[in-house]
Amino acid sequence: MCGRSHVVLGALIAVCFGSTLLSGQNAATALRTPWGEPDLQGLWDIKTITPLERPLALGTKEFYTEQEAAERERLAVDRATDEARGADARADVAGAYNDFWWDRGTKDVQTRRTSLIISPPNGRIPWRPEAMARNAERARVRDAMLDSSNPISTWLDVDTGERCITDGIPWTPGAYNNNYLIVQSKGSIAILHEMYRELRVFSVGDRHRVNIPQWFGNSSARWDGDTLVVETDNFADKSALWWPAAWRQARPAYKIVERFTRANADTLVYEFTVTDPTLFASPWTAQIPMRRTDEQLFEYACHEANYAMPSMLGHKTAK
Amino acid sequence: MGRLVRISVVAVCAGVVAASLVLTVASTSAQAPAVGQFAPGFTVPRTADGKPDVNGLWQALNSANWDIQDHPATSGVNPGGIGVYGAQPAGLGIVEFNEIPYQPWALARRKENFEKRLVSDPNDRSAGDPEAKCYMPGVPRATYMPYPFQIIQGTDKIMIAYEFADLARVVYLGELGPPPIDSWMGQSVGRYLGDTLEVTATGFNDQTWFDRAGNFHSEQLKVVERYTPVSPYHLSYEATVEDPKVFTRPWTIAFPLYRRMERGARLLEFKCVEFSEEFLYGKLRRPPGR
């Protein structure tokens, strides 16, 4: 029942998030901008320990019990310490960061789902078999390259995230900088993702179509009741590059629909549906509640400080 | 000539000289346009919460990004390689009185910046014009680069979204403590004064330039900007620059901002990192072969 979230969202909010999150009336209707639109503004935190895909071992188990969720969260708190070490010395040195730097959060989503993916029912990305085979081959090629004596010979051997460009859209919880600032004016919505300082600006209700392929495609945004719906296609073909996650590399066959709904004062529900018949047997959907935070967004000057790139290309920096 | 006539002639000549001096100063002084200058009778529209409405897609129409002072056309960069693609056009300056009040030591540094503007050295990131490397251009340069930007006026924050490098500045409306850390685009706090949005930006690093001519600042930079609608299609933009480490006094730039009017006008993507990598890392490319 909590799966079909684009049906009567108001009722689902009450059931899925619990009445403690709502005041007497439907709190969402009170959250309007001065010009009367749903107010999505704020700084929203997407981090959660709930994985995108349900672990295979859980089969069809859709939700954790309260006790299971509490135990998971306790373990997450234990792990998120800067005293944590890798399993052995080699693992410890090979890890990208000391645990101090990760900011993955310590909480499951409020619904206690076992995955962020809500459709298909097994909570996993429905890869086509030939796409899975291609992924495996690409991974094999990449491992061989990185294990070789000349792992990185140009910046194109490095993934789009390490080049400080993007990990792609739609958005999912990441290693750190899991914050999204939304600023809204009449007819326009801007979302600034702290990671990579990714900026997306939507002109709501603008039907003029452009044909300019982009890393983030071409988007059309409109209101559907209290939900902002953003449809994006016409992604540039960046599939020859290395991406941190193959499922969201920019490519022409890729289409996404994102939905943003202010469930209550402290929760923005972010839902996305991904379609690509060349990779997936069916469209699939994930839902992530974002929590309001009062922190201040930091500037993400990744490219300006990409000292790793010259190091990876095998040259020492003088300083 | 009789004495009286001579004095009169001297007086008239002095008057003419004085008048022409005044005219000379006025003609090279960049000035902000005034409300009603382009549209007599114009009243500044208000947002739903009663603030001067500066929402929209705006762009400067000048060549200040090459040089913020008056400048002639020059061969620019790499004429032998790319011909007139790299040439600098002539342009009126945007600096009041066309004078940047550098401290004496700073002029040598500006000259050095200009001569080394297309240096790219992975071991010295502060060498060369940050624009060429797709680094963030800082404030106020982002305002007069030849690309559009969009102002989205929210209720407690304003986002200024620049097409160059897909940049955003967040303007906090209200109190904010000192910047917790230096940054390329600074920390901006805004307030409304009558018909004007005033933004004060501090907390800059010393890495950005004001233009391709090498004009620069230190980490003590403070910029106060004023955005004022002066017609349905223009904003007046003024920015006062203060930096006691580099300049002898504050100085001001001013120019109009033009509303982008074409149907479907919007910010497009300019993720320039991938266009900067050959420039930044080309010398470090290793031969392939595993």
- A318 located within any domain: no
Q: Do B150 and B267 meet the contact criterion of CB atoms below 8 Å apart?
A: yes
Chain B residues with CB-CB distance to A36 below 8 A: 48
User: Which of B134, B170, B268 to probe by mutation at the A interface, max A CB count within 10 Å?
Assistant: B170
Predicted confidence band at B11 (pLDDT cuts at 50, 70, 90)? low
User: Domain ends where: A107, A133, A167?
Assistant: A107
Q: Which of A145, A216, A314 is the closest to B286 by Cβ?
A: A314
Residue A162 lies in a domain: yes
pTM of the model: 0.89
Residues B122 and B144 both lie in one domain:
yes
DSSP state letters, A111-123: T-BS-SEEESTT-
Residue A79 has pLDDT above 80, yes or no: no
Asked if A304 lies within 8 A of B125 by C-beta distance, the reply is yes
Q: How distant, in Å, are the alpha carbons of A52, A125, A127, A141 from that of A136?
A: 19, 15, 12, 9
Give ∠ CA B17-B19-B22 in degrees, rounded to 5: 110
Whether residues B56 and B193 share a domain: the answer is yes
A214, B269: Cβ pair inside 8 Å? yes
Residue B18 confidence (pLDDT) above 60: no
Which of A155, A188, A199 shows the shortest C-beta gap to B168?
Answer: A199
- The answer to whether residue A317 sits within a structural domain is no
Q: Looking at beta carbons, which residues of chain A come within 8 Å of B170?
A: 181, 183, 192, 297
Cβ distance B266 to A185 less than 8 Å, yes or no, reads no
Buried b or exposed e, range A198-220, using 16+ CB within 10 angstroms: bbbbbbbebeeeeeebbbbbbbb
Same domain, A234 and A258: yes
Give yes or no: residues A283 and A188 share one domain: yes
pLDDT at B69 over 50: yes
Contact list, A185 vs chain B (CB under 8 Å):
47, 55, 152-154
Residues B4 and B72 in one domain: no
| B113 plus B185 within the same structural domain | yes
- Report the chain B residue with the minimal C-alpha distance to residue A307: B122
Q: Does B289 fall in a domain?
A: no
B277 membership: H or E segment, kind and range: helix B273-281
Together in a domain, A85 and A195: no
Confidence grade of residue A27 (pLDDT, cut at 50, 70, 90):
very low
pLDDT for residue A263: 95
| Tokens standing for residue A214 | 């982009």
Q: Does residue A110 surpass a pLDDT of 60? A: yes
Confidence label for A23 from pLDDT (cuts 50, 70 and 90): very low
Is the pLDDT assigned to residue A3 strictly greater than 50?
Answer: no
Residue A3 lies in a domain: no
Q: Give the CATH number of the domain where residue A29 resides.
A: 2.40.128.20
> Which residues constitute the domain of residue A95?
70-107
pLDDT tens profile B168-220: 999 999 989 999 999 999 999 999 999 999 999 999 999 999 999 999 999 99
Q: How many domains does chain A have?
A: 2
Put simply, the answer to whether B266 touches A163 (Cβ < 8 Å) is: no
Residues whose CB is less than 8 angstroms from the CB of residue B123 and which lie 6 or more positions away in sequence, other chains included:
A310, A317, A318, A319
> For the CA atoms of A122, A128, A130, A134, what is the dihedral angle to 10 degrees?
-70
If asked whether residues B142 and B258 sit together in one domain, one would say yes
Q: How far is CA B1 from the centre of its chain?
A: 55
Whether residue B290 lies inside any domain: the answer is no
Is A78 found in the same domain as A212?
no
B274: closest CA of chain A, how far (Å):
8
pLDDT digits (tens, 9 = 90+) for A54-72: 999 998 899 999 999 999 9
* Residue A192 φ then ψ, to 5°: -110, 115
Residue B32 has a pLDDT of: 87
Say if residue B58 is in the same domain as residue B17. no
Q: Do B16 and B149 fall within a single domain?
A: no
| Same domain assignment for residues A79 and A129 | no
At A177, is the pLDDT very low, low, confident or very high (cuts 50, 70, 90)? very high
Q: Say if residue A144 is in the same domain as residue A100.
A: no
User: How many whole angstroms separate alpha carbon A195 and alpha carbon A44?
Assistant: 13
Residues B23, B44 within the same domain:
no
Coil, strand, or helix at residue A21?
helix
Please report the pLDDT score of residue A4 as a whole number. Answer: 44
pLDDT at A18 (0 to 100): 38
Q: Are residues B23 and B130 in the same domain?
A: no
Q: Which residues of A touch B49 (CB under 8 A)?
A: 34
Check CB contact under 8 Å for B290 and A144.
yes
Which of the residue ranges A18-22, A96-100, B46-50, B271-275 would you say has the lowest mean pLDDT?
Answer: A18-22
CA distance B115 to B203: 28
Q: Are residues B60 and B86 in the same domain?
A: yes
- Chain B residues close to A309, C-beta within 8 Å: 122, 280-281
Whether residue A93 is predicted with pLDDT greater than 90 in this model: the reply is no
Q: Cβ A315–B284 below 8 Å, yes or no? A: yes
CA distance A57 to chain B (A): 38
Query: Are A195 and A231 in a shared domain?
Result: yes
pLDDT at A104 over 70: yes
> What pLDDT shows up at residue A105?
80
Cα–Cα distance measured from residue B101 to residue B244, given in angstroms and rounded to the nearest whole number:
11
Partners of residue B185 in chain A, C-beta under 8 Å: 299
Residue in B243, B256, B162 with CA at minimum distance from that of residue B202: B243
Provide the residue type at B198 as one letter.
E
Nearest chain B residue (CA) to A308: B122
Per-residue pLDDT, A28 = 47
The distance of A281 to chain B (nearest Cα, Å) reads 31
Residue A255: Cβ-neighbour burial (10 angstroms; 0-12, 13-18, 19+): middle
Chain B residue nearest residue A37, CA to CA: B48
Q: Would residue A97 count as lying in a domain?
A: yes
Phi, psi of B173, rounded to the nearest 5 degrees: -90, 110
Looking at the fold, whether A164 and A22 belong to one and the same domain comes out as: yes
Based on the fold, state whether residues B179 and B59 are members of the same structural domain: yes
pLDDT of residue B6: 58
Return the higher-pLDDT residue of A253 and A98.
A253
Average pLDDT (A120-143) is 95
B123 with A210: Cβ contact below 8 A: no
Of A87 and A73, more confident: A73
Least confident interval from A28-37, A257-266, B97-106, B214-223: A28-37
In chain B, how many domains are there? 2
User: B28 vs chain A: nearest CA distance in angstroms?
Assistant: 36
A318 pLDDT band (50/70/90 cuts)? very low
**Residue B111 half-sphere exposure, CB side, CA atoms within 13 Å?**
5
Residue A296 lies in a domain: yes
**Which residue would you say has higher pLDDT here, A52 or A7?**
A52
* B61 and B194 fall within a common domain: yes
Work out the number of other CB atoms within 10 angstroms of the CB of residue B216. Answer: 22
Give percent of chain B above pLDDT 70.
Answer: 90
Reply yes or no on whether the pLDDT at B1 is more than 60.
no
> How far apart, in Å, are the Cα atoms of B255 and each of A123, B32, B64, B171?
55, 5, 10, 21
Q: Which domain holds residue B60?
A: 33-284
The reply to whether A180 and A257 lie within a common domain is yes
- Cβ of A299 within 8 Å of Cβ of B184? The answer is yes
Chain A residues with CB-CB distance to B286 below 8 A: 150, 152-154, 313-314
Query: What pLDDT does A114 receive?
Result: 95
Band (pLDDT 50/70/90 cuts) for residue A1 is very low
Question: d(Cα A168, Cα A172) in Å, to the nearest integer?
Answer: 10
Identify which has the larger pLDDT, B285 or A105: B285
- What mean pLDDT is predicted for residues A133-159? 91
Under 8 Å between Cβ of B143 and B239? yes
Q: Is the pLDDT of residue B92 over 80?
A: yes
User: Is there a domain that residue B124 lies in?
Assistant: yes
Residues A90 and A204 in one domain: no
Residue A4 within any structural domain of the chain:
no
Residues A29 and A93 placed together within one structural domain of the fold? no
For the segment A174-186, the average pLDDT, to the nearest whole number, is 94
- Chain B environment of A317 (Cβ under 8 Å): 122-123
Domain shared by A95 and A150, yes or no: no
Opening angle at CA A42, ends B158 and A284, nearest 5 = 120
Enumerate the residues of chain B whose CB falls inside 8 A of the CB of residue A184: 152, 154-155
* A1 within a domain of the structure (yes/no): no
